[in-house]
Structure 1
Amino acid sequence: KEDRYKIVKSLKDFKLTITGYNSKEAIVTRGGVSTKKIDPRTMQSKIIEGLFFAGEVIDVDGLTGGYNLQVAFSTGYLAGINAAL
């Protein structure tokens, strides 16, 4: 449990400096947690038990038009339901 708090603190304290953006790519984030490291049935980390991922924190890129929103809604639902178990 203490390790989880350290991870959360590190993530919350992590700072980035944005120096510019490409307008063609500005609507979607890229990168994130590899889908290979996540159980797709629960959205739980395969590495750290009790850690769940959802939305744009996951390395999934979709076309503009609501696809990324659907990923966010669906993974958020799965992560929330399973985290509450």
Structure 2
Amino acid sequence: MPGLLSGRDELARLVEAVLNPILEAQLTEALGAERHERTEERAGYHNETRARTLDTRVGPVTLQVPQTRDGSLSTEIF
């Protein structure tokens, strides 16, 4: 069923498109500042992202999980 498989791939990309910004927003909220933003409330610093694969019903989804410089952020997904 090639049509079904391509639909699953599209759905997996949609899941990535929804979850990646949520993960970034979670980090921004935890740190109290956007990337490169200077505030007195800042509780840490953004670092690079790490690619992680999440197995879902629609197939594997690759997420770009943001990291803090000190490694203090953890998500409920990973």
TM-score by length of 2: 0.31
Higher RCO structure, 1 or 2 (CA under 8 Å, sep 6+): 2
Bigger fraction of residues in strand: 2
